[in-house]
Amino acid sequence: MADRVYIFDTTLRDGEQAPGFSMTTEEKLQMAHQLARLGVDIIEAGFAIASKGDFEAVNRIAKEVKGPVICSLARALEQDIEVAAKALEPAERKRIHTFIATSEIHMKYKLRMDPNQVLERAVSAVRFARRFTDDVEFSCEDATRSDRDFMFKVIEEVIKAGATVINIPDTVGYAVPEEFAQLIEDIVNNVPNIDKVILSVHCHDDLGMAVANSLMAVKHGARQVECTVNGIGERAGNAALEEIVMALKVRKDFFGGLETNINTKELYKTSRLLCRITGSFVPPNKAVVGDNAFAHESGIHQHGVLSHRLTYEIMNPEDVGFPPSRRIVLGKHSGRHAIKKKLEELGVSYTQEDLERIYSKLKDLADKKKDIYDEDVEALVYQEFMKIEEEEPVKVIHFQVQSGDNLMPTATVKILFKGEERTATATGNGPVDATINALKNALGIKPKLLDYSIKALTPNTDAQAEARVVLDLEGVRASGRGVDTDIIKASVSAFVDALNRALMRKEYILQREKIRQQGTV
């Protein structure tokens, strides 16, 4: 049995399907380049038939990202497979990932097909996919609730048809580790040709056991794990890539020396990039990449770690990419060489033109706040490097707020909405609420605010504030982020960012939702 575990990253497909986590093509492309630097073996770049946006993202990643295998999901339908193959054409290495449900509840109520029809569809889909590539993955959707003998038969036949990877998804997060391990062992022992393929798993976290289930599957014969950065994904999310990788590395003794191709020093940077793109925050206590993962406040713990790191740390912070100079700050007297070194420490690729833009922005920021931290640099890099792929419908020209302890907060805004200049005034419970209300009045639309959060990126009262907004616009959810030393500006930027994403993606997200209702892995 191979001593290598392949890491199949589905952040850009399953992860992006989570409400509020949609990404533009440019954002997906930037994330894909970072995943390549991280060393993932396979990037599932999207669900090509879901929308024009998904097709474009898969196609550009296939064209521009080198190293990993580039994969597109496709239902067990010829049209899906043809579109996936077309999107993947430019890839140096490509994989078509096709799937169909094998559980009784899915076959009866979703597919309205009997087992023989499902078996026939699965085999024909794999055969058709082999016309376009030698690398075809097949998934038994809802495997953990499937009849074992029927699933064994499906697996055996699709391998005969040419499947090279067999994926066993715990689609609804139903399994517990001992049970899932037994399922993998049963597949190894009961499918006669299973040795001809790579056995894969894809676990969801509905009961909080996605990582544990994935690791137990590896222990019992699986050699590919499908996972996402920060564990994002539908409902409660997927198995977290960083936790899978570090568990295999730290507990190599338990897992029989199994290794991955992951450059673990890129884990923290990859996690932070995803946060910047999606406007989400990683909880401080998040395993491996949370800000408190290596923090020690207890005096006993501090004494132990200072005496010998292994007393309370089973991982070295540098091994997952926490910059050793994370709290060394830049200021207004810093030169280009210092900024260049900081960008290199943070793993940021840049041109001389990029460096000049960042340098100018950092100088402007240094005039507003005393110290500039890594988080400030990351925020500016994100703002400068990310480009919107189409004209933004909403642009804020100007806003003004009046507020005080004996004054009703009142805001006036002037905006451009699809090229038309509009002005509106509103009151609110505070300056942020008043400004958002004024924006809604000017736009004439009333998106529902689902979540709003703001935090200081760095210490001190002059810190940059990072605001995150999640909103719902007629059933389409989108997230946005904004960064500024002024919390009102940061909040307005986040709201407008989310609103633009929702407006620009409304049509193709609705199309994707329609397809998704028919089932995903």
CA pseudo-torsion sign 353, 355, 357, 360: negative
> What was the pLDDT predicted at 388?
46
Asked whether residue 311 carries a pLDDT value surpassing 70, the answer given is no
Asked whether residue 279 carries a pLDDT value surpassing 80, the answer given is no
- Residue corresponding to tokens 């690729």: 349
> What was the pLDDT predicted at 324?
52
> What was the pLDDT predicted at 327?
39
Report the range of poorest mean pLDDT among 56-65, 300-309, 345-354.
300-309
**What span, in angstroms and rounded, lies between the C-alpha atoms of 72 and 87?**
8
- Residue intervals of the chain classified under CATH 3.20.20.70 are 6-285
Between 334 and 56, residue with greater pLDDT = 56
Asked whether residue 520 carries a pLDDT value surpassing 60, the answer given is no
Q: What angle do CA 27, 335, 379 make, to 5 degrees?
A: 25
Span 437-454, mean pLDDT? 89
Span 273-302, mean pLDDT? 71
What are the residues whose beta carbons fall under 8 Å from the beta carbon of 97, sequence distance 6 or more? 44, 71, 72, 73, 74, 136, 137, 138, 139, 167, 521
Could you tell me which residues are beta bridge partners of residue 398? 414
Asked whether residue 419 carries a pLDDT value surpassing 90, the answer given is no
Asked whether residue 435 carries a pLDDT value surpassing 90, the answer given is yes
> What was the pLDDT predicted at 513?
56
**What span, in angstroms and rounded, lies between the C-alpha atoms of 280 and 257?**
34
pLDDT digits (tens, 9 = 90+) for 51-74: 898 999 999 999 999 999 999 999
> What was the pLDDT predicted at 516?
52
From 202, 133, 128, 212, select the one nearest 167 (Cα to Cα): 202
Burial of 506 (0-12, 13-18, 19+ CB in 10 A): middle
pLDDT digits (tens, 9 = 90+) for 136-145: 999 999 999 9
Report the range of poorest mean pLDDT among 82-86, 106-110, 402-406, 437-441.
402-406
- Residue intervals of the chain classified under CATH 3.30.160.270 are 394-512
Span 80-96, mean pLDDT? 98
From 303, 199, 36, select the one nearest 28 (Cα to Cα): 36
Span 256-273, mean pLDDT? 95
> Could you tell me if 61 and 29 are in contact, meaning their C-beta atoms sit under 8 angstroms apart?
yes
Report the range of poorest mean pLDDT among 78-92, 180-194, 490-504.
490-504
Q: What is the pTM of this model?
A: 0.72
The top-scoring range by mean pLDDT among 287-301, 316-330, 437-451, 457-471 is 437-451
Q: What kind of fold does domain 6-285 have according to CATH?
A: TIM Barrel (3.20.20)
> What was the pLDDT predicted at 326?
44
> What was the pLDDT predicted at 517?
59
Q: Predicted confidence band at 370 (pLDDT cuts at 50, 70, 90)?
A: low
> What was the pLDDT predicted at 350?
75
What are the residues whose beta carbons fall under 8 Å from the beta carbon of 51, sequence distance 6 or more? 508, 509, 511, 512
- Retrieve residue 204's tokens: 């969801």
Q: What are phi and psi of 121, to 5 degrees?
A: -65, -40
pLDDT digits (tens, 9 = 90+) for 403-416: 988 889 999 999 99
Asked whether residue 152 carries a pLDDT value surpassing 90, the answer given is yes
- Retrieve residue 92's tokens: 């140096």
**What span, in angstroms and rounded, lies between the C-alpha atoms of 152 and 319?**
40
> What was the pLDDT predicted at 244?
98
From 92, 93, 187, select the one nearest 148 (Cα to Cα): 187
Count other Cβ atoms within 10 Å, centred on residue 98.
26
CA pseudo-torsion sign 263, 265, 267, 272: negative
CATH ID of 394-512, from 3.30.450.90, 3.20.20.80, 3.30.160.270, 3.40.50.1000:
3.30.160.270
Span 29-46, mean pLDDT? 97
Helix or strand or coil: residue 68? coil
> What was the pLDDT predicted at 211?
98
pLDDT digits (tens, 9 = 90+) for 97-112: 999 999 999 999 999 9
Between 85 and 470, residue with greater pLDDT = 85
Could you tell me which residues are beta bridge partners of residue 199? 166
Asked whether residue 127 carries a pLDDT value surpassing 50, the answer given is yes
Burial of 168 (0-12, 13-18, 19+ CB in 10 A): buried
> What was the pLDDT predicted at 202?
98
Burial of 186 (0-12, 13-18, 19+ CB in 10 A): middle
What percent of the chain has a predicted confidence (pLDDT) above 90? 59
Q: What rounded mean pLDDT belongs to the chain?
A: 86
